[in-house]
Amino acid sequence: MLRSVKGVLRAEVGDLNGKPCIKVYVTEKTAEIERDIPDFVEGYPVVVEENDGQEVSSSK
């Protein structure tokens, strides 16, 4: 679902203030992307982060 949004590079489990979240890395944070990506997925908050063009590595 998230990876089908144009501009999304990767989605992974992340940390938001000590609680799990879903981090979505995008090529550029635009109004269109913000509109197309939900605030929550299966109860977890979604955080959109712009990638500066470098390889996105998985969190451990």
Residue 58, domain member (yes or no): no
User: 0.75 cut: is pTM over it?
Assistant: yes
55, pLDDT greater than 70 = no
Q: How many domains does the chain have?
A: 1
DSSP H helices, 1-60, are: 31-36
Assigned domain for 9 exists: yes
Tell whether 55 is covered by a domain. no
**Pairing of the two strands 19-26 and 44-50:** parallel
Residue 56 is assigned to a structural domain of this protein: no
Note down the domain range covering 39: 2-50
Asked whether residue 59 is assigned to any structural domain, the reply reads no
Residue 57 placed within a domain: no
Sequence-distant (6+) residues with CB within 8 A of 39 are 45, 46
Give the model's pLDDT for residue 60: 45
Q: Pairing mode, if any, of strands 19-26 and 40-41?
A: unpaired
Residue 13 is predicted with a pLDDT of: 97
